Amino acid sequence: MIVCLGSLFENCGGSNNSDSDKRSLTEMLDENDFAGANKYVANIFNSTGGSIHDIENKYLPAAIQTLKAEASYLMDQDDQDAETLFMLCINDVSGNIANYQPSTGFFDGEDQFDTDCIIEEVTPYNACLISIIREAIIKNKPDFAKKVLKMMKKNYKCDKKLKPGEKGRYVYDYTYNYTEDISQIQEAKKLISDYEAQQ
């Protein structure tokens, strides 16, 4: 569940956003109604019932959209308490995704469902934080960028290869090699280091 940003966003949890509010998430964010947006996103997560499909296709896109909008707004303010609470927002989203047991190594004809789910969820989450970091660099806020960097999650990648003579119709027609992937974290670090090198 995403919390709202302190005094900037009164009525944390969205008490101004009643269940009968028919506005879309985009409309709420356009109006800077982050309390309403937070409640909207929290309701999506609560409605998933732990469904991986719904978390990946409903909750995570909405959470990312909200984080980006809140971060952009926050970077134009000067409110340390709000910044701290925003980091808790990211922490909440991080805690709601990729809660699986990863497997690494070579697997013959057997994909790793948990690791695949981590990849599907962490990749867009990290991409969201990279976008926020890039905006922070543009706005000359490297300290904020560094804080966001710390919230990025370790990811994985899969080298999937078709076995000789197989047609690729089934899972067991392939070999799978799962390894850790820190390329997104490295990209974010480079954005910050390149900025600092120019100062």
pLDDT tens string 29-43: 999 888 888 889 999
Amino acid at 75: M
When mean pLDDT is compared across 86-95, 107-116, 154-163, the lowest value belongs to 86-95
What's residue 144's pLDDT?
96
> According to the per-residue pLDDT averaged within each range, which of 9-18, 80-89, 139-148 is highest?
139-148
Q: What is the mean pLDDT of residues 46-57?
A: 96
Residue pair 87/2 in contact (Cβ under 8 Å)? The answer is no
Counted residue by residue, the chain has a size of 199
Both tokens of 104, joined, read 């690494």
Taking Cα atoms as reference points, which of 15, 35, 13, 16 lies closest to residue 25? 35
Separation of alpha carbons 118 and 95, rounded Å: 12
DSSP string across 48-99: HTT-HHHIIIIIHHHHHHHHHHHHHHHHTS--HHHHHHHHHHHHHHHHHS--
- What confidence tens digit (pLDDT) does each residue in 55-78 have? 999 999 999 999 999 999 999 988
**pLDDT tens per residue across span 93-139:** 999 999 999 999 999 999 999 999 999 999 999 999 999 999 999 99
Rg of the chain on CA atoms, in Å = 19
Q: Which two tokens stand for residue 2?
A: 């995403």
